[in-house]
Amino acid sequence: MTAREKFLSVLEPAGATHAPNWEFGYWLDTLVRWYGEGLPSKRPPVPFDQCQWIPAQAVPSPDFFTDEGHYEVDAVAFFGFDERARCVGLDMGPRPCFPEEMRDDDGVNLTKRTYDGKWIRTRRDGTSMPMYLAFPVQNRQDFEGIRHRFLPSDDRLAPTFDRLCHRYSTRSFPLQLGGGAYSGFFSVLRELMGLEGALFGFFDDPDLVRAILDHFHWYYLEMYRRVLARTDVDFVLFWEDLSYKNGPLLSPDLFRAFILPHYEALIQDLRALGVRHFLMDTDGRFEVLLPMLVEAGLTGFYPFEAAAGMDVAEVRRQYPDLAILGSVDKRLLAGDRADLAREMRRISELYRQGRFLPFTDHMVPPDVGFDAYRRFREGLSELLG
């Protein structure tokens, strides 16, 4: 079976599941450690600017706009992963970009404005999350001043889009549309206003929140129409980090009032354009929102963070047709053999129930040694067959 056939067997409610052998991603320091512990180093990945995240098979970035060197290759060769998913060559970010500006550089930390208008303080080596200092939208005037940066246009498609579409037409890999910072609804509020600004905005300026959501709903649909007129896709992905370890960052009432209507309408329109599957990349503990997300038309989620207390056995009991991706507790990979054995028993039971694609519940951290990870992959490969 091709990687695409295996992936679709996870998404389809009927038939047996034959999940692809995939991983979510790694921290660069994890791979550096593994190179020192036995992973053959032939083509080490090139990290994104000031970022140590190394994506793997389950989290592709848009074709053409992402250097292939950002992906891990040596791990693929050693562990024999299946072909990775690919993402339609589409840039949904601000155009024109905000002018980048350096305010301070002390040799260790940078204070700068990024291409998307945020002011951040971050380590030069990318070994930590940035500290966000300011966001581009604080009021309606700010939003009207940047709205023109998020308009549909054909030049958002990769210059090689015709060639990409030809490749997509005969693909053996799953093809994703969407994902990234500008693909969700609560997420785009966070990107433009910051978490605190977005949460206060629901109460202090709900008209501004609605204006942003309405604009991006229209923007997503118009750009996705242009793509779907030229190629089919296997799924649409929404990036929506709206929870932390204790639950959602916004109440179910706020989600139902502001966010849910946009998901319902957008998914309905995309179904009419031929899309069958809708996945969401969402961290943290979000099960209280699951009934509404499923009601809106979402058909699968990842990465189901064990560290946040996501109980996938209970999710499977309540939603037998839901595609569950991820869920492997990355913390236990750094434990002893008994920890790994318990985790393998848990995911084996989930896999037997179907519609489950196991991989770690986020980036593999550097406290997971090469031998421990190799034992995990050997066990998982045996499970997947």
Residues 320 and 222 in one domain: yes
Which is it for strands 53-55 and 25-27: parallel, antiparallel or unpaired?
Answer: antiparallel
- CATH for 13: 3.20.20.210
The domain in which residue 72 lies consists of 3-98+136-384
Whether residue 49 contacts residue 122, with contact meaning beta carbons closer than 8 Å, is answered with: no
Whether residue 61 contacts residue 116, with contact meaning beta carbons closer than 8 Å, is answered with: no
- Judged against a pLDDT cut of 80, whether residue 70 lies above it is answered with no
pLDDT of 61 reads 87
- Judged against a pLDDT cut of 70, whether residue 351 lies above it is answered with yes
Whether residue 120 contacts residue 112, with contact meaning beta carbons closer than 8 Å, is answered with: yes
**Dihedral angle computed from the Cα positions of residues 125, 129, 133 and 136, in that order, rounded to the nearest 10 degrees:** 100
Residues 122 and 245 in one domain: no
Residues 378 and 338 in one domain: yes
Closest CA to 304 of 343, 357, 345: 357
pLDDT of 27 reads 92
pLDDT of 208 reads 98
Q: What is the mean pLDDT of residues 160-189?
A: 97
pLDDT tens-digit readout, 289-327: 999 999 999 999 999 999 899 999 999 999 999 999 999
Residues 19 and 34 in one domain: yes
Residues 284 and 303 in one domain: yes
Residues 216 and 327 in one domain: yes
**Helix spans in 112-185 (H):** 140-146, 161-169
Residues 301 and 268 in one domain: yes
pLDDT tens-digit readout, 220-275: 999 999 999 999 999 999 999 999 999 999 999 999 999 999 999 999 999 999 99
pLDDT of 49 reads 67
- Judged against a pLDDT cut of 80, whether residue 178 lies above it is answered with yes
Q: What is the mean pLDDT of residues 132-151?
A: 97
Q: What is the mean pLDDT of residues 119-140?
A: 90
Which is it for strands 119-123 and 300-303: parallel, antiparallel or unpaired?
Answer: unpaired
| CA angle centred on 319, ends 314 and 322, rounded to 5° | 115
pLDDT of 198 reads 98
Residues 268 and 317 in one domain: yes
pLDDT of 72 reads 86
Residues 121 and 212 in one domain: no
Q: Which range scores top for mean pLDDT: 13-17, 25-29, 66-70, 153-157? A: 153-157
pLDDT of 65 reads 77
Residues 21-58 as b/e (b if ≥16 CB within 10 A, e otherwise) read bbbbbbbbebbbbbeeeebeeeebbebbebebebbbbb
Spatial separation of the C-alpha atoms in residues 322 and 313, rounded to whole Å: 12
> Which strands make up the sheet holding 109-113, listed edge to edge?
101-105, 109-113, 119-123, 131-134
* Backbone torsions φ then ψ of 364, nearest 5 degrees: -70, 120
**Dihedral angle computed from the Cα positions of residues 28, 32, 33 and 39, in that order, rounded to the nearest 10 degrees:** 120
Residues 129 and 149 in one domain: no
Please spell the DSSP secondary structure of 9-43, one letter per residue: HHH-SSS---------EEEHHHHHHHHHHT---SS
Which of 113, 135, 157 is where one domain is finished?
135
pLDDT of 44 reads 86
pLDDT of 325 reads 98
Residue bearing the bigger pLDDT, 125 or 218 = 218
**Helix spans in 117-179 (H):** 140-146, 161-169
Q: Which two tokens stand for residue 46?
A: 């090139």
Residues 129 and 106 in one domain: yes
Whether residue 342 contacts residue 376, with contact meaning beta carbons closer than 8 Å, is answered with: no
CA 330 to chain centre: 17
Residues 55 and 105 in one domain: no
Whether residue 240 contacts residue 281, with contact meaning beta carbons closer than 8 Å, is answered with: yes
Q: In the chain, how many domains are there?
A: 2
